[in-house]
Structure 1
Amino acid sequence: MTAGLRELKKQQTRQAISDTATRLFLERGFEAVTIAEIAAAAQVAKMTVTNYFPRKEDLALDYHEAFTAALARTVAGRQEGESALAALRREYLAAVERHDPAIGFTGPEFARMIADSPALTARLRELHDQREEALAQVLAAHTASNPGDLTPQAVAALLAAVHRTLFQQVLDLTRAGRSNEEIATAATRSAHRVFGLLEASLGGYAVR
């Protein structure tokens, strides 16, 4: 088997495990399902599950790596003449248009599963914190901040707080059974409002 085929097989196995776990979690609740049950349903060894997903929570929040890197990646790739704030606002509004699960468009059953699980709620908080830290690192690098300068961390905290707030709104509306179109309308309106609150102070920060 070539390296490319081996990698494809790994990706397929990982996705099959994740899909199986999500189905079981939605049927029975996150806490009620064991790793052994997921392994049996996915027809793999228990060790295979833990090799791909060391934490049970990440079987449910399978997008965690992309989630934690998203804000930093957006700022790092911002356009010429664009500030960090403008880039994040632009990307968020684009994510709303495509009903991106990474900003909370998960479907009501999945949203309720997260809300009903203390473990998943705690893990989500950790992911938000990791995303903020990754953003702070990129801001520090792109503004050539001096050691000890807290500006990048403070700016990252403000920008990450906007995303946390918007994420929670989308999740709450999803749990309430609102349609994606209704949620998108509300999220767009909220995004313009909350990003706008930071325009005066951050509109000229980290301009490429």
Structure 2
Amino acid sequence: PKRYGVFSFKAFIAVLVKIQICSFIVELKDCDKSVKGVCEKVLSCIGKLQRGTDRVLVDAITDYLTATPKLIIIDEAQHLSIRALENLRAINDVTESGIVLCGNPTVYDRMHGRGQAHFAQLYSRIGIRRHIIEPSLEDITAIFNPYALDKESLLYLHELALQRGGIRNCVKVLNIALQFRDNEKEPLSIDHLQSAYQLRNGEQ
């Protein structure tokens, strides 16, 4: 799917991480869309299980990032409410820590608004807008690097990534292929991937 952000493409994340001391990834659900929800997720990622009002949570994150600058990567950011985005902007203003918002086009639309003045502060904070339509072979190589796949297998996964379902489809095929590999006690190969694809799509 089309995404504004970088979470699905590890190669681009690697470039962003180089400009910060370190980073952490926050994965959101619809129930995390409020100020309280996203702040509690961020605090959990940095090992602080703090509770309290919105102000207490925002201040806790601000204090932490002021002392320990990090790059915050927020996935599924389309769930965030305008108030949550505004508070993330405030955290960014005070701490100057980078914040990457990843998700579908709704993320950008919410920050842009319809040209209203009260969205200007949000929109003006966008440093880089990255619209990724489809993954490159380099992206696939970076994402599946831990599995020591050969070039033929990576090319096959890249073909799958360009189809409907994108990288999520590749991951599901890979998980099935890993089961085939474990059952046969052989190195992971393109044969396992092709068999997994056929099984997933009802072709066997």
TM-score by length of 1: 0.25
Bigger strand share? 2
More helix by proportion, 1 or 2? 1
Provide TM-score, normalisation by structure 2: 0.26
Q: Which has the higher contact order (CA 8 A, sep 6+)?
A: 1
